[in-house]
Amino acid sequence: MTKFLIIGLGNPGNEYAHTRHNIGFDILNTFVLKNNAFFQSARLAEVAEIKFKGKIFVCIKPTTFMNLSGRAVKHWLDKEKISIENSLTIVDDLALPLSKLRLRKRGSDAGHNGLRDIQNVLGTDEYPKLRFGIGNQYPKGMQVQFVLSRWLPEELPVVKLKIEKSIQVIEEFATIGIDRTMSDVNNLTFI
């Protein structure tokens, strides 16, 4: 069976739960629950394994804090002998509006500290990423407070829709490939 490493980025700890910055954790929690699996504490991450249509998903939520995610990603790629192109990193993105998801085969960290650390540890930016738009409606100088804030009640219906679509993206990434999945998701607008 082909293995895939699905990485949800976020910060451990209740104070970060369900914040914009932790959307990677929330997507993986929903995906794992949907598949009747559960996370266990392991080296550098909470880990769950899911079997789906002849594929194995190794899902990790790094416990290293966002800015040190690279160590966990490298450890689990090596441990599970998964090639980098069979990994998918799910991350919040300030540059995308809340109405968008963006799947890419490669790309810069775009100022995201978690992606920057992964890129530094792996020595490349050529790994697939699913970027979850969180918008950028915050006053000047308030970026950190914004990304660490919880969703507004009026945003939650769109967030739920996008979480469901993100789960579909994970499944399609492994079954029909990244190219077809990108054309399916990148032009969608969630309103």
Tabulate helix, strand, coil % of the chain (nearest 5): 45, 25, 35
Catalytic-role residue among 18, 21, 75, 112: 21
Is 75 a catalytic site residue? no
**CA angle, corner 80, sides to 78 and 83, nearest 5?**
65
Q: What gap in Å lies between CA 189 and CA 73, rounded to an integer? A: 30
DSSP 8-state secondary structure symbol assigned to residue 136? -
Question: Which residues, 6 or more positions from 142, have their beta carbon under 8 angstroms from its beta carbon?
Answer: none
Backbone angles phi, psi at 52, to 5 degrees: -150, 115
Active site residues: 21
